[in-house]
Amino acid sequence: MTAAIELDTVSLSYGSHRVLDGLSLSVPAGSITALLGGNGAGKSTTLSVLLGFARAQSGQVAVCGVDPGRDADGARRNLAYLPENVALYEHLTAFENADYLLALSGARRDRKEIADAFAAAGLQDRAWTQRLGGFSKGMRQKVAIAVALLRQTPVLLLDEPTSGLDPRATADFNTLVSAVRDRGAAVLMVTHDLLSAADVADRIGFLEAGRIADEVSASGPERFDVRALHARFSAGREAVAA
């Protein structure tokens, strides 16, 4: 296994329910892969396997060459993870949250670096010293995005990263993720946001019933045929629902 993220014929069941069914996925360094899929397609379980929270029952998994099922801590040292529902400290300011979380991960940054990350994430400067208790979901997401990007790990996992963001903030986020790719990181994002995926991803995989049913790579000035993507995504969701 040579890619930064590698899953090879991975299967995992909960009781009689097969959640991942021979899933194979490779994300090289310096690239962004988006996984599109409806509820129950296996997106969250894929992330759980990479994070070491769930262990594959068959197949192989590696994050920068480390099997998270055998060495979860070793795998997590190589990645930053941005969940859909961000857990931050309500009584701390945005600066204090970032400083504390970065210190916990061993990636402490100075105040200017944190300020630059907040600005890049689109968090208004007046909010930097405010407690998070009064923040909207979108503002919390921007703090979490800044922290994840400041980790500067070789792998970035994103779970519905644009949830709660307005169109301008989504565009800013996509610019940030593109910069992470350009510095050589492997990015895997799972999302329902087809337009955001089409804007930023190098490759889009359609996850259905725990396996990749189809893949499309960006090409040409338009990158993707959004109409075709939408039709493919809708067909996959209808097939799963049926």
From the list 54, 39, 46, 1, the residue with the least C-alpha distance to 22 is 46
What fold is seen in the domain 1-78+155-242? Rossmann fold (3.40.50)
State residue 240's pLDDT score. 52
State residue 179's pLDDT score. 86
State residue 239's pLDDT score. 52
Helix (H) or strand (E) holding 38: none
Distance CA 43, CA 207 (A): 7
State residue 1's pLDDT score. 44
Q: What is the pLDDT along the chain (242 residues), one digit of tens a residue?
A: 468 999 999 999 999 899 999 999 999 999 999 999 888 889 999 999 999 999 999 999 999 999 999 999 999 999 989 888 778 999 999 999 999 999 988 888 999 999 999 988 888 999 999 999 988 888 888 898 888 888 889 999 999 888 777 888 788 888 888 888 998 999 999 998 888 899 999 999 999 999 999 999 999 888 998 899 988 888 766 555 44
Contact (CB, 8 A) for 114 and 95: yes
Distance of CA 89 to the CA centre of its chain: 21
Q: Phi, psi (5° rounding) for residue 229?
A: -60, -45
Q: Which residues of the chain form beta strands (DSSP E)?
A: 5-14, 17-27, 31-36, 58-63, 79-82, 155-159, 186-191, 203-208, 211-217
Distance CA 64, CA 80 (A): 13
Can you give the residue ranges of every domain in the chain?
1-78+155-242, 87-152
